[in-house]
Amino acid sequence: MKYNTYTGENVLERVVSNNLCVGCGTCAGVLPEVLRMHTDKYGAYLPVLIKETDEDWGRLSLRVCPFADNEDNEDTIAARLFGQQEGVKHRSETGYYLQCFTGHVTDEDARLASTSGGIISWLAGEMLSSGKVDAVACVGQCDDGENLFEYQLIADSTELYKCRKSRYYPVEASRIIREIRKTDSKILFIGLPCFVKAMRLAMKADPVIGDRIAYTIGLFCGHLKSKHYSAYLARCCGVSEREIKTVNFRKKVLGKPANKYAFEVLIRNDGKEEHRQIMMGDIWASSWSNNLFMLDACEYCDDVMAETADVSIGDAWLSEYTKDFRGTSIVVCRNADLLIMLQAGIDRTEIVLEEISVDKVIQSQASGMRQRREGLKYRLYLSAKKGIWRPHKRVAADRRAGNFSYRILQLLRIKTKTLSREAFLKQQPVDGLDIFIHLLRPWILLLRVLNLVRHLAGSLKRKTFNLLKVSIT
Ligand SMILES: Cc1cc2nc3c(=O)[nH]c(=O)nc-3n(C[C@H](O)[C@H](O)[C@H](O)COP(=O)(O)OP(=O)(O)OC[C@H]3O[C@@H](n4cnc5c(N)ncnc54)[C@H](O)[C@@H]3O)c2cc1C
Ligand code: SF4
Ligand code: SF4
């Protein structure tokens, strides 16, 4: 069995045509005369050709693309950046690390306003106020009438703190890359793992960008959603997407565990503003475990913890931390400078951090990790069987990856991902969610039954094993 060997001469032929584009905008950022980002009918960003030039633009586009299969991957980039440090350790799941922590900011309002423990915004604010960087490239609210969120370059702490919260919404970095090239400021870049990888590739390909980016912070990442996801959640609150002013994907709820959060939408109604919210557990079908509205590129990603970032931060999805509704961050630090900065924050009691083992970090992302290791092996096999080109990943295609039920789970998740996209297109002109639910229901039911069987089989296996252990010892 062989992959298709024709790979194309530029990102449009190689990446976009194979549904591998995550819409990061890096190619359009370094080639502003040739490519521009646009939103497709499914609510995802893609580059489009605006003008063909004589220069070899295709090669540069491939050099900066995280999915183009260029000479560097997460391992080689990270080895160059972090591999030579004294005391540095490595695990295939986390990449390099100096130390790992869980923790949060001590300012109660700041913590409540953040996604998990508020460590990303604290660290970015610290870099800005100490002069380590002049501006932060991060994601904030957008009021262009078309998009809810966008990448912004921010040089002011008050504005930076307004950018707290995870945005499960596509954003692209082409505009800020063009701005970064024009300034002589030192920049902190905050992004999802594939965006940080793309920025590292751009830093190598373009010395001006290489000189401007001083630090990177990576978010842990399960997957990214299309723009239709926020419209879907708003409809679950009885609101049309036309009324949305902004949304909060991660509203903390007093008395609930941190992983039982709500979605909140702010709407404009007769000139007045009104909030509506719904607990994520009350949304029809679990959008995260069923991969609803997920971008196709995320199927072929093997970096959960932003292995090329100076520091990576996620949610401490561990029972000892989720019981606190205020949220707790998990931190994987790879840069000695930033370790000193974190320690200074602890000494000034601005943050609380507790060292944890790397095994705990991996445990906190167990299901995402499995989807991007065992699941990816099987998805690579499915592509290879159809002769579709895929970039080399750090796991190989495997027909027997996982067990039988896990492979069925992969097939069903691919189905619900693809169908959610088409079903929402059919639903869009009509209010409500009847069409969407009608089309997806049989597949969601199948997934529920499969998960039930897998759960029962797992607990039966554990009980039998424990019984055997007791009777033998
Ligand atoms: C699409 C997505 C998937 C994620 N998946 C996981 C996961 O599987 N497991 C896990 O543990 N954590 C995941 N996270 C990370 C997690 O949601 C929090 O970002 C993390 O816990 C840090 O919280 P904090 O309180 O320190 O950040 P905050 O202080 O709230 O700051 C958040 C920062 O992230 C930036 N940001 C928000 N959205 C985006 C975006 N789309 N792209 C780039 N930057 C953004 C903001 O501008 C802000 O600077 C995901 C985040 C996103 C956006
Ligand atoms: S993933 Fe990013 S760099 Fe690659 S084609 Fe898409 S927008 Fe361009
Ligand atoms: S899952 Fe991977 S490809 Fe998808 S947004 Fe996250 S880091 Fe990027």
Note the pLDDT tens digit of each residue in 364-374. 999 999 999 99
Residue 2 has pLDDT above 70, yes or no: no
Task: Verify whether ligand 1 is closer than 6 Å to residue 126 (CB atom).
Answer: no
Task: Verify whether ligand 1 is closer than 6 Å to residue 293 (CB atom).
Answer: no
Q: How far is the CA of 288 from the centre of ligand 1 (A)?
A: 15
Mutate to test the pocket of ligand 2, among 12, 15, 178, 300 (most ligand atoms within 8 A of CB): 15
3-class state of residue 454 by DSSP: helix
Residue nearest to atom 4 of ligand 2 (CA): 65
Task: Verify whether ligand 3 is closer than 6 Å to residue 24 (CB atom).
Answer: no
Give the DSSP H or E segment for 83.
none
Mutate to test the pocket of ligand 2, among 26, 151, 192, 194 (most ligand atoms within 8 A of CB): 26
Task: Verify whether ligand 3 is closer than 6 Å to residue 298 (CB atom).
Answer: yes
Residues in the chain: 473
List pLDDT tens digits, range 278-337.
999 999 998 999 999 999 999 999 999 999 999 999 999 999 999 999 999 999 999 999
Closest CA to 240 of 271, 265, 277, 262: 265
Q: How far is the CA of 357 from the centre of ligand 2 (A)?
A: 35
List pLDDT tens digits, range 104-136.
999 999 999 999 999 999 999 999 999 999 999
Copy the structure tokens of residue 175.
């505009």
pLDDT band at 272 (very low <50, low <70, confident <90, very high): confident
Task: Verify whether ligand 1 is closer than 6 Å to residue 117 (CB atom).
Answer: yes
φ, ψ (nearest 5 deg) of residue 241: -60, -20
Copy the structure tokens of residue 465.
């094993």
Task: Verify whether ligand 2 is closer than 6 Å to residue 27 (CB atom).
Answer: yes
List pLDDT tens digits, range 48-82.
999 988 678 999 999 999 999 988 999 999 999 99
pTM: 0.96
Look at residue 5 in the predicted model and tell me its pLDDT. 54
Name residue 72's amino acid. Answer: D
Q: How far is the CA of 354 from the centre of ligand 2 (A)?
A: 37
- Say how far apart CA 260 and CA 280 lie, in whole Å: 7
Residue nearest to atom 15 of ligand 1 (CA): 314
φ, ψ (nearest 5 deg) of residue 269: -135, 115
Q: How far is the CA of 64 from the centre of ligand 3 (A)?
A: 16
Residue nearest to atom 12 of ligand 1 (CA): 314
What DSSP line would sit under 331-395, residue for residue?
EEE--HHHHHHHHHHHHTTSEEEEE--HHHHHHHTHHHHHHTTHHHHHHHHHHHHHT------SS
Look at residue 159 in the predicted model and tell me its pLDDT. 96
Mutate to test the pocket of ligand 3, among 169, 172, 223 (most ligand atoms within 8 A of CB): 223
Closest CA to 53 of 73, 33, 77, 80: 33
Task: Verify whether ligand 3 is closer than 6 Å to residue 173 (CB atom).
Answer: no
Task: Verify whether ligand 2 is closer than 6 Å to residue 15 (CB atom).
Answer: yes
Look at residue 462 in the predicted model and tell me its pLDDT. 76
List pLDDT tens digits, range 142-201.
989 899 999 999 999 999 999 999 999 999 999 999 999 999 999 999 999 999 999 999
Beta bridge partners of 398: none
CA angle 67, 71, 77 (to 5 degrees): 85
Asked if 238 contacts 263 with a C-beta cutoff of 8 angstroms, the reply is no
Residue nearest to atom 6 of ligand 2 (CA): 21
DSSP-H helix ranges across 255-335: 319-322
Q: How far is the CA of 9 from the centre of ligand 1 (A)?
A: 34
Look at residue 1 in the predicted model and tell me its pLDDT. 47
Residue nearest to atom 31 of ligand 1 (CA): 164
3-class state of residue 256 by DSSP: coil
Look at residue 473 in the predicted model and tell me its pLDDT. 65
Closest CA to 317 of 287, 264, 356, 278: 356
Nearest ligand 2 atom to alpha carbon 45: 7
Q: How far is the CA of 244 from the centre of ligand 1 (A)?
A: 21
- Mean pLDDT estimate for the chain: 95
Q: How far is the CA of 3 from the centre of ligand 3 (A)?
A: 22
List pLDDT tens digits, range 433-459.
999 999 999 999 999 999 999 888 877
Task: Verify whether ligand 1 is closer than 6 Å to residue 163 (CB atom).
Answer: yes
Q: Compare 466 and 382 and report the one with higher pLDDT.
A: 382
